[in-house]
Structure 1
Amino acid sequence: MTAAPNTTGPLQDAVADAIRTATQGAGRVNILVAGKTGVGKSTLINAVFRGELARTGAGKPVTQTTQEYTRPGHPLTIIDTRGLEVGDYGRSRAELAALIRERAASADQDRHLHVAWLCIQDSVHRVEDAEIELCGMLADAGIPVIAILTKARRNTPFADTARALLPRAKDVVAVRALPEWIDELQAELPPMGLDRLIEVTAQYIPEAQQRAYANALSTRNKQALEVKKKRAEIEVNVAAGLAASAAAAPIPFSDAFALVPIQVGMIAKIGITFGMEISTAALTTLVTSTLGSSAATLAGRSVVSGLLKLIPGAGSAVGGTIAATTAAAITKLLGNAYVTVLYDFCLRHPGQDIDIAFIKRALRERVRL
């Protein structure tokens, strides 16, 4: 009797490769944040992105007037440009121009500056010549500029003035990042404008950086969740297409190894999109907790058969093989269920890290694995 071939080793390698590819393909998004001292740049950054990225003293000096904020496992770099005050502007502008040229010359798109936030305090009701010139310089370099009126009130009349004076800005968004007590009103004004800023910024982030942008956003903001969900659904559709292609020659139901790396990569990419730290170890934990504790389980009948039960007619139609349409349906069902579970968790636990054990239980209840 001939022994069955040992496929566990190759399958484990395929799983590891899928996770590694998801990690390396996450990209990096770089946002330039410019504005005078005291306009609330750090507060704004921490309100939009996860991880309190712009903590005081946490930045790495890049030039005398520029700091870089980043951290391991976080696919976002903030370039904080100071020195827009009149006395420092000349040096700041020259150093920034050199930085833009250096990054734009890189063949690595992850080094480019992808969007710029030009922060102007709403209550000042003035756009300085330096801010107008900086907006033009950034636009000339091909960097989309979003003018942000910080510490703003709703329906601020200054927005129209800013639009007129900054015609090369892609948009002007009025934002209040934190609640603010207003003595004259004897009332506390709630945060505003963050969802719109997240949405507008997403429109100008390159496609290759969209997963990194979605990862970096804090789930405290409702629009951030919508950005994450939209990106995750794209990952599901891509994986379903790959699964259909892999199954163009019917896959034997008993092993179905060709589907495993595709589904593993999909789960890893969705995890990145919803805010998992980008590391091989973290994503391996996520994947194995979701689909099983070993490569054999990942490829076994527990995943495939559990999903087949939810596809009308698949059990009788498969007949021991998985055809292209069934492979795509299995993958899409798993992916959509995973997106729903993560979305619901983030909606109920805004700003919290993903609880992998909770996600595992919720997913298995949903697809009856």
Structure 2
Amino acid sequence: MDKEKIKTFKEVWEKSRILFNRDPSLPPHIMVGGCTGSGKSSLLNALLQKKVFEADFGRPVTRENSEEFWRAPDESIDIVVIDAPGFGEAEKITAENKDEYMQNTYKIAEMKVDLLILVLDANSRALSAEDTFLKHWFNNPRLSEIPVLVCVNKIDTVPPVRESWPELKNNFNIYAPVSEKEKNLRKLMHYIRTLSSFERIPDSCFLLVCAGESFDDIDYQFGIDDLREKIYATLPESVRTVYARALAVATLNKKLLKTEAKSIIKKYSALCSAAVAANFVPASDALVLAPLQIAMIKKLGDLYGKSLTQSAVQGILSAVGMSFAGRTLCSFIISFFPGVKNLVGPPLAFGLTYSIGKLVSELFDRGIEAPDSEIINELAGKCSVERPDESEMDMALEKYKQDIDEFKRELD
């Protein structure tokens, strides 16, 4: 091999290698707003199924904001919860204190808040403070880009309270109301939507919830699982990994963990497919794929709480990659034939990376970081059967088009 080709391989490797540390897993910063008595603390505790936040969390402040951290028992992950500063004073803004209030509001934007959760009391129609707060929120160009979820809490206490809530909640539906409670809540939701500032929030971002009397009051809780999933779907991709892991640790429910794992795998499979299509250096596809697959394994390690060095990840990729040696060899041979490579190479790269990701995810889910050949071969057979079809690849390529375009620019 001549020196020019070796130089080209090194350039491709260096451009791809930066991906290992380009996509760090960051803690989510969630801002919570709501008047006293709306049940913010109870809702957060129900969300985490632990008494983390005291009843006085979120007392109205105007000159400074209060922060609370939820930290996993192993101290590996944090969720940052921030009280919305000045919330209780929103409708008391005057010409004299407007500048101070707005400076405090701009401070929120500088904190890189990922999501605002606004908690309302289902028994209160006095929403002028919330309406005023949202008006100022949406009038700020930076804040208006932050997604907002509106949680109407304490729906179990909406009249008539004589109705048996534990029984009613199992068939609860305000879109086809039968009970008086359902009809009253439907009217409440319609009223909230008539307030000008709430009109800017999509219908899908309004949730009816009941936090119950305590974090483990399962019989009375309602909409908590839906809220967990909605938060995950609404948060930026950069903080979803930590959020999904935090919920799995707190609730012992791995549903979001598996959802995030699949999302990570599809993203990097799409990147690998695009990288092979954009790479015109013969026989160098492995040099493009390896760093991307290493980055994928590191990201999966973050999700499952594994502190992995790059060399450790390389070892895992080497061990796992051997189980898919046939497809790896096929990809190498195809890369010598440009016409065939463009047709066959990208789907092959997608499928290979997807299978590696599924296998590694299964290993980490079982708590295995140093797998032996027996367990790898067992899982490789299972992952080969679960390969994605062409439609899945097309959807992933479309979903992660922005990431793919960015990566292509780096390869140019």
8 Å contact from structure 1 (residues 118, 146) kept in 2: yes
The answer for the alignment partner of 1:294 in structure 2 is none
- Bigger Cα displacement from structure 2, 85-94 vs 242-251: 85-94
Q: Cα deviation per residue 1:266-300 (whole Å; 9 max; x = unaligned)?
A: 2223444x3547xxx54648725632xxxxxx4xx
Q: Cα deviation per residue 1:30-84 (whole Å; 9 max; x = unaligned)?
A: 322012345432343355469x795559x99996552123468647532223775
Partners of 1:60 and 1:150 lie apart in 2 by: 16
8 Å contact from structure 2 (residues 62, 89) kept in 1: no
Correspondence list, 1:325-336, <5 A: 325-326=344-345, 329-330=348-349, 332-336=351-355
SS at match of 1:79: strand
8 Å contact from structure 1 (residues 29, 76) kept in 2: yes
Root-mean-square deviation (CA), in Å? 5.2
Bigger helix fraction? 2
Bigger strand fraction? 1
Partners of 1:127 and 1:364 lie apart in 2 by: 62
| Aligned length in residues | 326
Q: Does 1:137 align with 2:136?
A: yes
Which of 71, 83, 93 is the equivalent residue of 1:80? 83
Q: Does 1:176 align with 2:210?
A: yes
SS at match of 1:251: coil
Unpaired stretches in structure 2, ≥5 consecutive residues: 1-5, 157-168, 173-181, 384-412
Relative to structure 1, the CA distance from residue 240 to residue 190 in structure 2 (aligned partners, 3 Å threshold; closer, same or farther) is: farther
Partners of 2:372 and 2:129 lie apart in 1 by: 52
The answer for the alignment partner of 2:269 in structure 1 is 237
SS at match of 1:338: helix
What is the TM-score when the length of structure 1 is the normalising length?
0.64
The answer for the alignment partner of 1:118 in structure 2 is 118
Unpaired stretches in structure 1, ≥5 consecutive residues: 182-186, 292-297, 347-353
The answer for the alignment partner of 1:269 in structure 2 is 299
Relative to structure 1, the CA distance from residue 356 to residue 38 in structure 2 (aligned partners, 3 Å threshold; closer, same or farther) is: farther
User: What letter corresponds to residue 290 of structure 1 in structure 2?
Assistant: I
Relative to structure 1, the CA distance from residue 37 to residue 172 in structure 2 (aligned partners, 3 Å threshold; closer, same or farther) is: same
The answer for the alignment partner of 1:314 in structure 2 is 330
User: What letter corresponds to residue 33 of structure 1 in structure 2?
Assistant: V
CA shift, 1:251, in A, is: 2.2
8 Å contact from structure 1 (residues 236, 332) kept in 2: no
Partners of 2:208 and 2:296 lie apart in 1 by: 36
User: What letter corresponds to residue 77 of structure 1 in structure 2?
Assistant: V
8 Å contact from structure 2 (residues 320, 376) kept in 1: no
Bigger Rg, structure 1 or 2: 2
SS at match of 1:189: coil
Q: Does 1:287 align with 2:299?
A: no
CA shift, 1:244, in A, is: 1.1
8 Å contact from structure 1 (residues 198, 223) kept in 2: no
What is the TM-score when the length of structure 2 is the normalising length?
0.58
CA shift, 1:214, in A, is: 4.1
Partners of 1:94 and 1:44 lie apart in 2 by: 32
User: What letter corresponds to residue 357 of structure 1 in structure 2?
Assistant: E
Q: Does 1:216 align with 2:243?
A: yes
User: What letter corresponds to residue 20 of structure 2 in structure 1?
Assistant: I
8 Å contact from structure 2 (residues 151, 209) kept in 1: yes
The answer for the alignment partner of 1:295 in structure 2 is none
Relative to structure 1, the CA distance from residue 87 to residue 133 in structure 2 (aligned partners, 3 Å threshold; closer, same or farther) is: closer
Relative to structure 1, the CA distance from residue 306 to residue 94 in structure 2 (aligned partners, 3 Å threshold; closer, same or farther) is: same
Partners of 2:311 and 2:58 lie apart in 1 by: 31
Relative to structure 1, the CA distance from residue 211 to residue 113 in structure 2 (aligned partners, 3 Å threshold; closer, same or farther) is: closer
